[in-house]
Structure 1
């Protein structure tokens, strides 16, 4: 009972305090201010020497440069600039500090421009989205094992969506020279293994000339249909060491030559055209077909020429939903010829699967009528 009375007394006192007039509150505050001790800051501002040490560029304060000559990362920037990459969205990290510094100071932070991100996954996602709009790939830098793990989900999304991006992971590979602590803990013999199952290609350059060849090749592979992310593990020592003679030969940058898009065998194309032309009820199913707006126009022309109904599975904006030939997925049931364009799962398109059938095993059933001809045009096998 006493505890309850003390509680109620406190409530009444608090209520009375809130009921005070503004004038009374101001008078009380003025009185308290006169008796209070002057405010002392908890931390003093840094002196000029400390401020310079914390904000100046290394080497500006008379410190000797750690690199005698041109750092290898400057040459790496020269290579990257030849590929026309516009942005490098990345989360800053020590394992790629060499190339980061060269991008800013040597490269002028232009073409590419470094975009500071708060997380590797959002950085890779920015590269994904940029390509979807601009049609050009970006490069993203990741820190060793931990940064690459953060980025892995967004890299996987790009892989599923057939979007190219160049992922470069900083890694202190040489155990005899790398610093102790975090640089050692966050390094690995093969960081590319973390994302190898959902990248098109990867490499670990061991020299500057090797990097030049790998970078151009990575860009070429990423931009060859089917598009996809590629991965390069970049040694921190290789970035920071001075450029040395490469077996007596001068370093050079290979010229990027785009690969011609793959095309079907002429005989197979003629056979497919014959089947479609003779079909009574052809159906076209498109998934990741249209890589450009022109792809939509070409599909409309093909559908109208064949008077074929089109099922758009939505992997891309392939076909106008308002077009009179646009059809639901059930349209394949009556088709005598089905043309699949870049289907992620052709089997699942023409078959159904019911979970938890007899004895807990799924039940398969066809969605098509007997004798239906199937034509697949797909680059995913390449």
Structure 2
């Protein structure tokens, strides 16, 4: 007879359910779980903060379609990891948080780090459970994984008391459920598919918006075929970039505000009318706009703006239905219309404005000058993780993406501190690709110690810090008796952190220093930090609307 302990059952169940990556910080009572996960062939990465571990687990879920795991100790550790649950909840990414807990027979006695962990996780988790016995662990792990990837993807939580982890069961008494298959790809009713195409044919000013839901659905081939067949203008959301290469001739991203404001029919492909798309409301959208909504979640249909044609189901499957109808009944939007003329004119105006800012060699430099150089040196298939207000927003417009799931950022939750963890997740999932984290100095500070993780696991990530001395720019000199709330230490040498852990660092202040530093960092076989000082007053190009259209 073979006896298995709880840690082995947890690890073996995770591996059987397709969970390959785990991020966490070990301690009482979860150390055995990490050891067992490695023994079962999983990849465990010890992080420096549970927040970063949870962010990495969510990013793995997005990149692979199977949940990444975050392992946290009880009490404070689990509470720290709720940040990643919330981020995955907002983005619709699968992840599984495994929280250690006090021995169950000590509940209510004031046990070490005892906390209402299931209650704390529940607002952000699709599924929360505590195994009722060691032998039933596989049942709960399979349920957790299935809930995380079926329907609208999202995070799940499994509470693991110490006595469940160290408990034992005879292998003959344990039932391992079969691997949960990938989610079924639900189709839309044929009449809705036909109605969507008919509405697009009637439109004078149509627009397709490609969201990160299409990237998650692995729908890139279908979406590209749809755009190529219909010749419709489109623009991507921030993480929808790359589903269609950003250099596609039908992209109207440079005319984003104009396109949103003037479209009469908008086809939302895996994108939600939330704050990122200004809720679909005036003045950012037409008050009479009609919408086609393709979404996995029925409750999202008609949110903020009444939906004209709903397409509820899987993005890859439904766009496949649209393409099948177009093959039998071809149609394309005319290339010479007043709508196309207006879009091209606005795009050209905006591109010229940006070009002037990109070519400005003033010292100190601005965002556009720095990011132009990054763009020119990045490999085409580089994965970019970006965060930090202006750094993130401007990099989205300056740095193109050519492949799906090659851009990660603060996402729907607008979370700062995700960048380094997401870069680590991308590098472990794609060890053959160049991964670059483009950070504001404020964003870098949230999780800067994670560079030690890059050093420990020899992850050759390039971290580029666009440094303006604070949140939205701080002073170049500080009076310690009157420090502004948004100010950080001026001209801080963050690149020295890389050197402390055996990496390489560069401190850049001029355009002449910029390209050599970036070239050396991007070609380095170890992790590196390029710390670039910019004008503390630098910002985005003039915007028609203020932040959140206030």
Asked if Structure 1 and Structure 2 have the same fold, meaning a TM-score greater than 0.5 normalized by the shorter chain, the answer is yes
In the alignment, is residue 76 of structure 1 matched against residue 10 of structure 2?
yes
1:379 paired residue number: 296
Tell me the equivalent position of 2:185: 261
2:214 partner SS: coil
Pairwise CA RMSD: 3.0
Match of 1:87 in 2: 21
Unaligned runs of 5+ in 2: 300-550
Match of 1:339 in 2: 267
**Once the two structures are superposed, what CA deviation does each residue of 1:310-342 show, in whole Å capped at 9, x if it has no partner?**
122213224333322222232134333211122
Match of 2:245 in 1: 320
Summarize the Cα distance change of 1:250–1:341 in structure 2 as closer, same or farther, 3 Å threshold.
Answer: same
Q: CA deviation at 1:135?
A: 4.6
Check if 1:306 corresponds to 2:230. yes
CA separation of 1:96 and 1:294: change in aligned 2, threshold 3 A: closer
Secondary structure, aligned partner of 1:230: strand
Q: Does 1:187 align with 2:110?
A: no
- 1 CA distance for matches of 2:263 and 2:9? 58
The partner residue of 1:251 within 168, 171, 174 is: 174
Equivalent runs, 1:145-294 vs 2, <5 Å: 145-176=75-106, 184-188=111-115, 190-243=116-169, 250-255=173-178, 256-291=180-215
Shift of 1:293: 9.4
Aligned to 1:33: none
Q: Is the 8 A contact 1:307 1:325 kept in 2?
A: yes
- 1:187–1:343: structure 2 CA closer, same or farther, 3 Å change rule? same
CA drift of 1:366 comes to: 6.8
Summarize the Cα distance change of 1:288–1:251 in structure 2 as closer, same or farther, 3 Å threshold: same
Deviations 1:260-285 (A, max 9, x none): 03332333222212212333332112
Counterparts of 1:142 and 1:160, CA distance in 2: 21
Distance in 1, Cα, partners of 2:57 & 2:152: 17
C-alpha contact (below 8 Å) 2:67/2:94 kept by paired residues: yes
Which residue is equivalent to 1:368?
Answer: 286
How has the CA–CA distance of structure 1 residues 311 and 172 changed in structure 2, closer, same or farther, with 3 Å as cutoff? Answer: same
Structure 1's unaligned 5+ residue stretches are 1-67, 353-364
1:289 is paired with a residue whose SS is: helix
Q: Partner of 1:308: helix, strand, or coil?
A: coil
CA separation of 1:84 and 1:321: change in aligned 2, threshold 3 A = closer
Deviation for aligned residue 1:146: 0.8
Paired residue total: 291
Once the two structures are TM-superposed, the CA of residue 211 in structure 1 deviates from its matched residue by 2.2
String of CA shifts for 1:118-153, please: whole Å, max 9, x gaps: 221122222234345445432121112211111122
Shift of 1:216: 0.8
Shift of 1:170: 0.9
Pairing 1:120–2:31 present: no
Distance 1:123 1:258 in 2: 24
The alignment partner of 2:215 has SS state of coil
SS at match of 2:96: strand
Query: CA, structure 1 residues 186+341, in 2 after alignment: closer, same or farther (shift >3 Å)?
Result: same
Q: Which residue in the other structure is 1:19 paired with?
A: none
After superposition, the C-alpha distances for 1:152-199 in whole angstroms (9 at most, x for unaligned) are 222322222322111111112524489x87xx14123x4122232222
Q: Are the equivalent residues in 2 in contact too, given 1:224–1:259 (CA < 8 A)? A: yes
Distance 1:164 1:366, change over 3 A: closer
User: Displacement, 1:253?
Assistant: 0.7
Larger radius of gyration: 1
CA drift of 1:97 comes to 3.6
Note if contact 2:11-2:33 (Cα within 8 Å) is conserved in structure 1.
Answer: yes
Change beyond 3 A, Cα 1:135–1:174: closer
Say if 2:12 and 2:37, in contact at 8 Å, map to a contact too: no
What does 1:48-67 correspond to in 2, within 5 Å?
none
Distance 2:218 2:170 in 1: 48
- Partners of 2:43 and 2:248 lie apart in 1 by 42
Tell me the distance in 2 between the aligned counterparts of 1:323 and 1:177.
Answer: 59
Shift of 1:209: 4.5
| 2:104 alignment partner, SS class | coil
